[in-house]
Chains A and B, each alone.
Chain A
Amino acid sequence: MTGILIDPGKCIACRACEVACEREHGRSFITVFEFEGSAVPLNCRHCEKAPCIEACPTGALFRDKDGAVMVDVKKCIGCDMCLLACPFGIPEMAGKIMVKCDLCPERRAEGKLPLCVQTCPTRALTYEEPNEFSVRRRKSYAERIALRRAHDVPQL
């Protein structure tokens, strides 16, 4: 399942993703949290086993063909049960309807990336399969080790 994956080691907390999301949706569904030594852009994780889908009493939450967890606005009653269940505290209310990251369905339909991913200048956000992501991360870690050895830098 393709999703937006986060590489906190690359995030520079420029908040371009927040601005991009707001431009696409009128409000931002991604937030950058800054900590000592790292910054983490957080949006809906579109969980493989999504507690929000299971908690929704009206069946308003569903997974689309790309794997995105989506809200059927006709079925949503704004009861907040999804928010009770969400481990990341993601769902927000807009009047009587729940709103959250939808991975930019119009852009996806045109074969484009979600706008936050497209905009991220450091590739801290990528849109890919989790397995591709971990292979890439492993490779980059191995390269760093190799570089340190080549330059005879002491191991940490």
Chain B
Amino acid sequence: MFPNFDWEKCIGCIACVRTCRGGALSYTDREGIRTITFEPGLCDGDLLCLEVCPVGAIEPSPKSSGDSATFPLARCENCGKLTDFTVKEVEWGKERGLFDVFLCPECRRVESAKRIGEGFE
């Protein structure tokens, strides 16, 4: 069986790409755009991608002619730097209450350390 992608549901997190052993799934981050590509010729059909997908965007399918989708990457809401997370991942994180303001990891470290340090002599 091949994976069939629901790109509407997909948030572009690349958990599927990371778990794919045969290299059928790949991605590039270029100029603020993430492109995820599925090449069925390299797919071994283990469907590990389906198991790890956090949003249930993958379903098994008997055939596939390959697929690809693009996702804009999100910027840190503090320093404006382009991050490794997609805009859809950030929206997903906000919906789940993970954060109200999306900061890059560096800004998160500095801001949380600053909060811990506040009020000390």
User: What residue in chain A is nearest B55 (Cβ atoms)?
Assistant: A57
Cα(A138)–Cα(B89), bound, Å: 42
Nearest B-chain residue to A31, judged by Cβ: B109
For B17, give the chain A residue with the smallest CB separation: A79
Question: Which interface class (under 10, 10 to 19, 20 to 34, 35 or more) fits A?
Answer: 20 to 34
Query: Taking the nearest CB of chain A, how far is it from the CB of B45, in angstroms?
Result: 18
Number of residue pairs across A and B with beta carbons under 8 Å?
90
Residues of B within 8 A of A39 (CB): 117
For B103, list chain A residues within 8 Å (CB). Answer: 89
Q: A58-B19, A77-B18, A79-B13 are in contact. Are A89 and B114 (CB under 8 A)?
A: no
- In the assembled complex, the CB of B64 is this many whole angstroms from the nearest CB of chain A, namely 22
Is the Cβ of A57 less than 8 Å from the Cβ of B98? no
Cβ of B22 within 8 Å of any chain A Cβ, yes or no, is no
Whether B109 contacts A33 by the Cβ 8 Å rule is: yes
Q: Give the interface SS of chain B, mostly helix, strand, loop or mixed.
A: helix
Inter-chain contact B18/A33, CB cutoff 8 Å: no
B114 contacts A79, C-beta separation under 8 Å: no
Closest 6 CB pairs of A and B: A89-B108, A89-B105, A38-B117, A79-B15, A33-B113, A77-B18
> Are B116 and A40 closer than 8 Å at their CB atoms?
yes
**Central interface residue in B18, B108, B110, B114, by most chain A CB within 10 Å:** B18
B residues in contact (CB < 8 Å) with A: 13-15, 18-19, 51-54, 84-85, 89-90, 93, 98-99, 103-110, 112-114, 116-118, 120-121
Is there an interface contact between A33 and B114, defined as CB atoms closer than 8 Å?
A: yes
Known: A77-B15, A84-B85, A96-B18. A55 touches B109 (CB 8 A): no
- Give bound CA distance, A7 to B116, whole Å: 9
**Max chain B CB contacts within 10 Å: which of A6, A33, A83, A89?**
A89
Q: What are the residues of chain A within 8 A of B114 when measuring CB–CB?
A: 33, 35, 40
